[in-house]
């Protein structure tokens, strides 16, 4: 390592702990406290990546999360690799491996660099225009573009790390722990506000803590010594929680913020094991104080993007905080006093500063005088017109600015240098403020957008509110904080403060060159390679809205959202279009402020925790008996029970035959169950179902169809009258929650006069359904004293019974068309009763069947499944279920809609049966139905909704919805498939036992 790039040891870097790491396969070392960026700079590595479009060599520009260029891929392992990480935010650890992105085959020889030479043909909108070419062109381009200009690699394996979510509630959230954040948090906590202070960095204190500013004196101490004392005090304050390495990603309405807490990324590999890597904090704060600081702006001039060109403040931070010198020959280029602070910082460390180029005419501030007295050359009213050096800056060309700042005059001066610190002023970090819905106002004198109208209980303080000097930061904070927190005083009301004053200002958004703009490359958005030239082109092509210019030029659309250059883009648009910046507005800053990992977003909700699984009380039995499962909503339902390696088809055929020939058993616990009580319960059912309920006797069951107000079938199920004012309603498995919600809605908002109470009891009862000709014998074995005669216990009735000590409700209802019983018991007894049925049914070869067989059996009977044979566009009339729609009832939900001209049309799609001419062909569900082949355009009549091979009928059967289907009985239709046309005949949808003889067998 070139040792002369480390200056006198910094207190933030522990030089006793050496850390080795690899970058682009080469080994380097740094010290504890270094970021990847500072360690690379200490090793004299500036070239770290290639730009997105032109593949120009790029270096480290900043020392923070706003970094546009030094974007790296961390850890080249297939499962733990992460793209698009800012080298300025990666804290190095032993064994870290990182590599450049956007370059292929490597950063030093990059084939896409040819785009730079071709840049005249790659203007703004190139990609959009390319996309508009014929699709075949795009396919060719896609390979090239993806390969050469990708934004990093995704991991190819499952992420092995643990991520977490946590809800956080606090009285005051302070975002940013610079000087104003620290003072605000301290005083909030001291006044009994439960306070949370977060900062994206690993150290508190912002820039104040490391900058050695001899002109900033607080209470007789330098500002950095004073802030260190303040930070020490924070540790002893109650009510205050501090989280470092925590970046606020999003600020939503009602003071709801999302922050990412980084817990292990900075640790050595062995220390990461088994720990939570990142945690998403979901913060609800009563009050929010934003002290997010300000970002330094670059200056926009020709070839302003070479490795070695950095922000002046970054040069300063690398020197003061990391003890790293970014260059041996340093020059600064500025429009304000900030660069003089950086120059002085280097000078005081004994590092040569060649020159300062200042676009202002002069300045008489104290710091400028000090720099002048130090013998550093200052070129007033000058600008940089060009830079040289392909992979590293080696010289700049400087010329005098005209009075209007639009052109340059005089001779060109070349200055040799390897590091250029650029200071274009400061942009308050108002991103979070605007995310929250805050409105900005433009401050003409500082050329900044500042918070204006707060949308929630929040306050912006410090430089994100436009206060840049320590004196104004502290004084304004004192006034605003007292008002915001409604407190009498703060502990910094009467500090003695001395700070620098800056007097002269000059701002030029786009600095002129001696070349015409067409021949220059003044980059505005470094990450997306958008230049001032592109913005001007967009305006020439007629774009006016800044949102359009942004999309056309891709300015601000990178992963950094253009944090550095957005203001210049706006300025150049305003200047070119001749409008005021305040009237132009800004583009929208969107969450996240810095990129989030997918892991952080999903937290623990991965794998089996992605969604809730609901399991029935008999679930263990199904698993023990090798059931295959299917997801029905959140339920895991037994699908079929393969025996001896049977295929699904064979299992279902066997189960279906067994259920009709002897006995089958089904776990029906997932059906929705709603307990309905109250003196108006019958009237309520009358209003929500299409059929009549008033005359249903106690102990009887009835099937009901429920519509939406638009007349379309919504749900169905059997409801049992348990008592005078007591019903038990069943719903479909998937519809249970929605049905309850809908019924509550009507009850509370339309019919509050009804005395009815609804309770969901789905999880409270387990339901075992036994069916088939031997089901009666089986039930008789289990409950010998229960009268199962037709007279006492007919179809569609219910009895209370007892199996041992277990109370049960037995309904004689059927979804298969077979004689069957549903035994409902308290959920805990579900498995015991199921096993009792299995035992009693053994001699009858009782066969467990799953949802697939249930669907097949009901299809044989032509029973619909809401959601499979209906899709929200089917009325009961469409389903040929006219019999269930009461003509006598004055009203029920959806009744009026059945008489709309549209719902009464004869040519609506109607449910029919379909039989294939070849009984062995089973149709595909979803297949389209036509009446004529070779018609163009194809006139599609409908589609197949359910289709099975029926082992009981020994032929293929299907249900379908077909336009005017009810008038097509016996008609031949076609199902055109990829390789063949299938001939079908429209049939009655009840294929099996249409006289319902088996129900009473």
Q: Residue 460 or 662: which CB sits closer to another protein?
A: 460
- Tell me how far, at minimum, the Cβ of 256 lies from another protein, in Å: 5
CB 449 within 8 A of CB 586: yes
Q: How far apart are CA 42 and CA 92, in angstroms?
A: 13
Q: Residue 547 or 709: which CB sits closer to another protein?
A: 709
- Tell me how far, at minimum, the Cβ of 373 lies from another protein, in Å: 54
Name every residue whose Cβ is closer than 8 Å to that of residue 373 and which is 6 or more positions away in sequence.
none
* Residue 900 binding another protein, by CB under 8 A: yes
* Residue 253 binding another protein, by CB under 8 A: yes
CB 396 within 8 A of CB 383: no
The dihedral sign for the CA sequence 738, 740, 744, 747: positive
- Tell me how far, at minimum, the Cβ of 895 lies from another protein, in Å: 7
Q: Residue 842 or 896: which CB sits closer to another protein?
A: 896
Strands of 867-937, DSSP E = 909-916, 928-930
Q: Residue 901 or 979: which CB sits closer to another protein?
A: 901
- Tell me how far, at minimum, the Cβ of 742 lies from another protein, in Å: 11
Q: How far apart are CA 287 and CA 561, in angstroms?
A: 27
Q: Residue 653 or 686: which CB sits closer to another protein?
A: 686
Only segment of 250-258, 289-297, 422-430, 481-489 that touches another protein (CB under 8 A): 250-258
Only segment of 125-133, 223-231, 252-260, 713-721 that touches another protein (CB under 8 A): 252-260
Q: Residue 486 or 887: which CB sits closer to another protein?
A: 887
Q: How far apart are CA 661 and CA 480, in angstroms?
A: 84
Binding footprint of another protein, residue count (CB under 8 A): 24
Angle between helices 179-190 and 470-485 (to 10 degrees): 30
- Tell me how far, at minimum, the Cβ of 739 lies from another protein, in Å: 13
Letters for 737-756 (x = contact with another protein by CB under 8 A, - = none) are ----x--xx--xxx-x----
Only segment of 75-83, 251-259, 649-657, 963-971 that touches another protein (CB under 8 A): 251-259
Name every residue whose Cβ is closer than 8 Å to that of residue 744 and which is 6 or more positions away in sequence.
758
C-alpha neighbours within 13 Å on the C-beta side of residue 613 = 15
- Tell me how far, at minimum, the Cβ of 861 lies from another protein, in Å: 34
Q: Residue 723 or 741: which CB sits closer to another protein?
A: 741
Q: How far apart are CA 987 and CA 49, in angstroms?
A: 69
Alpha helices in 63-178 (DSSP H): 114-117, 126-131, 135-149
* Residue 578 binding another protein, by CB under 8 A: no
Only segment of 201-209, 246-254, 719-727, 926-934 that touches another protein (CB under 8 A): 246-254
- Tell me how far, at minimum, the Cβ of 287 lies from another protein, in Å: 13
Q: Say how many C-beta atoms besides its own lie within 10 A of residue 719's C-beta.
A: 23
Stretch 381-440 residues interacting with another protein (CB under 8 A): 437
- Tell me how far, at minimum, the Cβ of 456 lies from another protein, in Å: 9
Q: How far apart are CA 35 and CA 33, in angstroms?
A: 7
- Tell me how far, at minimum, the Cβ of 744 lies from another protein, in Å: 6
- Tell me how far, at minimum, the Cβ of 482 lies from another protein, in Å: 26
Of residues 490, 487, 550, the one with CA closest to residue 524: 550
CB 522 within 8 A of CB 302: yes
CB 391 within 8 A of CB 57: yes
Q: How far apart are CA 342 and CA 331, in angstroms?
A: 10
- Tell me how far, at minimum, the Cβ of 567 lies from another protein, in Å: 26
- Tell me how far, at minimum, the Cβ of 167 lies from another protein, in Å: 9
Degrees (nearest 5) of the Cα angle 20, 70, 128? 145
Residues across the chain: 1001
CA distances from 694 to 123, 682, 700, 752, 786 (A): 76, 6, 12, 20, 28
Q: Residue 472 or 680: which CB sits closer to another protein?
A: 680
Degrees (nearest 5) of the Cα angle 354, 360, 364? 85
* Residue 76 binding another protein, by CB under 8 A: no
The 3-state DSSP class for residue 568 equals helix
Q: Residue 253 or 409: which CB sits closer to another protein?
A: 253
Stretch 205-244 residues interacting with another protein (CB under 8 A): none
* Residue 757 binding another protein, by CB under 8 A: no
Stretch 440-469 residues interacting with another protein (CB under 8 A): 455
C-alpha neighbours within 13 Å on the C-beta side of residue 674 = 25
CA distances from 398 to 331, 378, 389 (A): 12, 12, 15
Q: Which of 126, 215, 256, 703 binds another protein (CB under 8 A)?
A: 256
- Tell me how far, at minimum, the Cβ of 254 lies from another protein, in Å: 5
Q: Which two tokens stand for residue 261?
A: 């807490």
Q: Residue 608 or 902: which CB sits closer to another protein?
A: 902
Q: Say how many C-beta atoms besides its own lie within 10 A of residue 411's C-beta.
A: 7
Q: Residue 533 or 895: which CB sits closer to another protein?
A: 895
Q: Residue 136 or 749: which CB sits closer to another protein?
A: 749
Stretch 274-313 residues interacting with another protein (CB under 8 A): 284
CB 308 within 8 A of CB 418: yes
Query: Across-strand partners of 715?
Result: 706
Q: Residue 667 or 878: which CB sits closer to another protein?
A: 878
Question: Distance from first CA to last CA of the chain, Å, rounded?
Answer: 93
Q: How far apart are CA 922 and CA 905, in angstroms?
A: 31
Q: Residue 143 or 890: which CB sits closer to another protein?
A: 890
Stretch 868-897 residues interacting with another protein (CB under 8 A): 890-891, 895-897
Q: Which of 131, 144, 254, 609 binds another protein (CB under 8 A)?
A: 254
Q: How far apart are CA 276 and CA 72, in angstroms?
A: 23
Q: Residue 202 or 897: which CB sits closer to another protein?
A: 897
- Tell me how far, at minimum, the Cβ of 904 lies from another protein, in Å: 10
CB 779 within 8 A of CB 770: yes
Q: Residue 121 or 899: which CB sits closer to another protein?
A: 899
Name every residue whose Cβ is closer than 8 Å to that of residue 847 and which is 6 or more positions away in sequence.
654, 655, 658, 659, 662, 663, 664, 665
- Tell me how far, at minimum, the Cβ of 165 lies from another protein, in Å: 13
Alpha helices in 236-325 (DSSP H): 269-272, 312-320
- Tell me how far, at minimum, the Cβ of 764 lies from another protein, in Å: 17
- Tell me how far, at minimum, the Cβ of 882 lies from another protein, in Å: 18
CB-based burial, 914-946: b 16+ in 10 Å, e otherwise = bbbeeeebbbeeebbbbbeeeeeeeeebbbbbb
Q: How far apart are CA 684 and CA 751, in angstroms?
A: 9
Only segment of 19-27, 158-166, 217-225, 253-261 that touches another protein (CB under 8 A): 253-261
* Residue 709 binding another protein, by CB under 8 A: yes
Q: Residue 145 or 692: which CB sits closer to another protein?
A: 692
Helix (H) or strand (E) holding 941: strand 940-950
Q: Residue 121 or 890: which CB sits closer to another protein?
A: 890
* Residue 521 binding another protein, by CB under 8 A: no
Letters for 22-61 (x = contact with another protein by CB under 8 A, - = none) are ----------------------------------------
- Tell me how far, at minimum, the Cβ of 282 lies from another protein, in Å: 9
* Residue 252 binding another protein, by CB under 8 A: yes
* Residue 271 binding another protein, by CB under 8 A: no
Residues forming the site for another protein (CB under 8 A)? 252-254, 256, 284, 437, 455, 709-710, 741, 744-745, 748-750, 752, 890-891, 895-897, 899-901
């Amino acid at each position: 390592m070139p040792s002369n790039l480390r200056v006198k040891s910094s207190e933030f870097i522990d030089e006793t702990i050496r850390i080795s790491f690899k970058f682009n396969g080469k080994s380097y070392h740094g010290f504890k406290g270094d970021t990847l960026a500072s360690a690379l700079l200490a090793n004299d590595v500036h070239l770290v990546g290639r730009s997105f479009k032109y593949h120009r060599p790029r270096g480290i520009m900043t020392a923070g999360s706003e970094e546009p260029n030094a974007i790296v891929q961390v850890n080249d392992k297939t499962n733990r690799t992460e793209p698009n990480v800012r080298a300025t935010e990666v804290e190095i650890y032993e064994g870290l491996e990182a590599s450049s992105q956007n370059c292929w085959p490597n950063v030093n020889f990059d084939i896409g660099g040819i785009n730079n030479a071709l840049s005249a043909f790659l203007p703004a909108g190139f990609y959009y225009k390319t996309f508009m070419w014929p699709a075949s062109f795009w396919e060719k381009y896609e390979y090239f573009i993806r390969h050469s200009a990708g934004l990093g690699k995704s991991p190819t394996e499952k992420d092995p790390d643990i991520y977490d979510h946590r809800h956080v509630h606090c009285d005051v959230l302070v975002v940013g722990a610079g000087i104003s954040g620290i003072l605000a948090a301290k005083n909030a906590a001291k006044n009994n506000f439960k306070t949370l202070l977060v900062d994206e960095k690993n150290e508190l204190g912002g820039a104040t803590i490391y900058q050695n500013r001899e002109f900033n004196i607080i209470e007789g101490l330098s500002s950095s010594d004073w802030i260190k004392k303040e930070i020490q005090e924070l540790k002893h304050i109650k009510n205050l929680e501090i989280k470092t390495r925590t970046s606020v990603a999003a600020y939503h309405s009602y003071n709801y913020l999302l922050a990412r807490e980084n817990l292990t990324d900075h640790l050595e590999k062995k220390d990461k094991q088994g720990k939570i890597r990142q945690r998403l904090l979901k913060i609800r704060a009563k009050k929010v104080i934003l002290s997010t600081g300000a970002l330094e702006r670059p200056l926009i001039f020709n070839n302003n993007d070479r490795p070695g060109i950095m922000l002046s403040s970054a040069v300063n931070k690398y020197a003061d905080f990391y003890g790293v010198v970014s260059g041996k020959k340093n020059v600064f280029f500025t429009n304000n006093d900030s660069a003089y602070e950086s120059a002085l910082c280097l000078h005081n460390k004994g590092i040569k500063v060649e020159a300062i180029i200042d676009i202002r005419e002069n300045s008489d501030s104290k710091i400028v005088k000090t720099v002048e007295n130090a013998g550093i050359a200052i070129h007033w009213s000058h600008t940089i017109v060009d830079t040289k050096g392909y992979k590293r800056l080696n010289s700049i060309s400087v010329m005098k600015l005209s009075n209007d700042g639009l052109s340059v005059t005089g001779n060109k001066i070349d200055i040799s240098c390897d590091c250029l610190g650029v200071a274009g002023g400061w942009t308050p970090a108002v991103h979070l403020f605007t995310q929250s819905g805050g409105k900005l106002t433009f401050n003409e004198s500082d050329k900044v957008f500042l918070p204006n109208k707060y949308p929630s209980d929040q306050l912006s303080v410090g430089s994100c509110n436009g206060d840049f000097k320590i004196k104004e930061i502290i004084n304004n904070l004192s006034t605003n904080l007292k008002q915001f927190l409604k407190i009498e005083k703060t502990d910094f009301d009467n500090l003695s403060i001395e700070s620098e004053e800056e007097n002269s200002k000059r701002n030029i958004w786009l600095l002129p060159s001696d070349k015409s703009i067409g021949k220059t490359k003044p980059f505005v958005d470094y990450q997306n390679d958008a230049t001032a030239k592109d913005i001007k082109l967009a305006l020439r092509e007629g774009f006016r809205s800044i949102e359009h210019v942004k999309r056309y030029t891709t300015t601000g659309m990178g992963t950094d959202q253009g944090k550095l250059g957005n203001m210049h883009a706006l300025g150049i648009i305003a200047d070119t279009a001749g409008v005021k910046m305040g009237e132009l507005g800004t583009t929208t800053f969107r969450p996240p402020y810095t990129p989030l990992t997918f892991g952080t977003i999903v937290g623990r909700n991965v794998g089996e925790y992605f969604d809730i699984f609901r399991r029935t009380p008999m679930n263990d039995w199904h698993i023990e008996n090798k059931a295959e499962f299917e997801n029905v909503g959140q339920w895991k339902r037994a699908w079929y029970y393969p025996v001896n390696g049977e295929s699904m088809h064979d299992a279902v055929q066997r189960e279906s035959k067994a259920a009709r020939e002897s006995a089958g058993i089904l776990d029906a616990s997932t059906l929705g169950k709603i307990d309905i009580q109250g003196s108006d319960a019958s009237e309520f059912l009358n209003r929500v179902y299409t059929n009549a309920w008033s005359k249903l006797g106690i102990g009887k069951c009835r099937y009901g169809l429920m519509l939406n107000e638009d007349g379309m079938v919504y749900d169905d199920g059997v409801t049992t009258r348990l008592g005078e004012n007591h019903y038990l309603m069943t719903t479909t498995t998937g519809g249970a929650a929605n049905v309850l919600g809908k019924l509550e809605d009507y009850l509370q908002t339309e019919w509050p006069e009804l005395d009815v109470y609804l309770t969901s009891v789905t999880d409270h009862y387990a339901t075992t359904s036994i069916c088939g000709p031997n089901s009666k014998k089986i039930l008789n074995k289990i409950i010998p004293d229960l009268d199962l005669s037709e007279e006492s216990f007919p179809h569609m009735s219910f009895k209370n019974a007892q199996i041992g000590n277990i109370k049960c409700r037995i309904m004689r209802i059927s979804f298969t068309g077979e004689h069957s019983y549903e035994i409902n018991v308290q959920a805990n007894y579900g498995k015991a009763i199921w096993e009792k049925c299995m035992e009693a049914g053994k001699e009858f070869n009782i066969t467990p069947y799953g949802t697939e067989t249930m669907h097949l059996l009901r299809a044989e009977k032509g029973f619909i499944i809401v959601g499979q044979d209906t899709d929200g566009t089917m009325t009961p009339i469409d389903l040929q279920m006219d019999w269930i729609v009461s003509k006598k009832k004055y009203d029920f939900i959806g009744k009026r809609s059945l008489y709309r001209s549209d719902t009464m049309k004869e040519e609506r799609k109607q449910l029919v049966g379909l039989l294939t001419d070849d009984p062995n062909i089973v149709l595909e569900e979803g297949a389209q139905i036509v009446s004529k082949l070779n018609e163009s355009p194809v006139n599609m009549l409908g589609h197949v909704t359910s289709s099975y091979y029926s082992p009981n009928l020994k032929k293929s059967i299907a249900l379908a919805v077909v336009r005017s289907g009810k008038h097509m009985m016996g008609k031949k239709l076609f199902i055109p498939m990829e390789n063949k046309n299938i001939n079908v005949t429209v049939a009655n949808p009840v294929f099996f036992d249409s006289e319902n003889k088996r129900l009473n067998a």
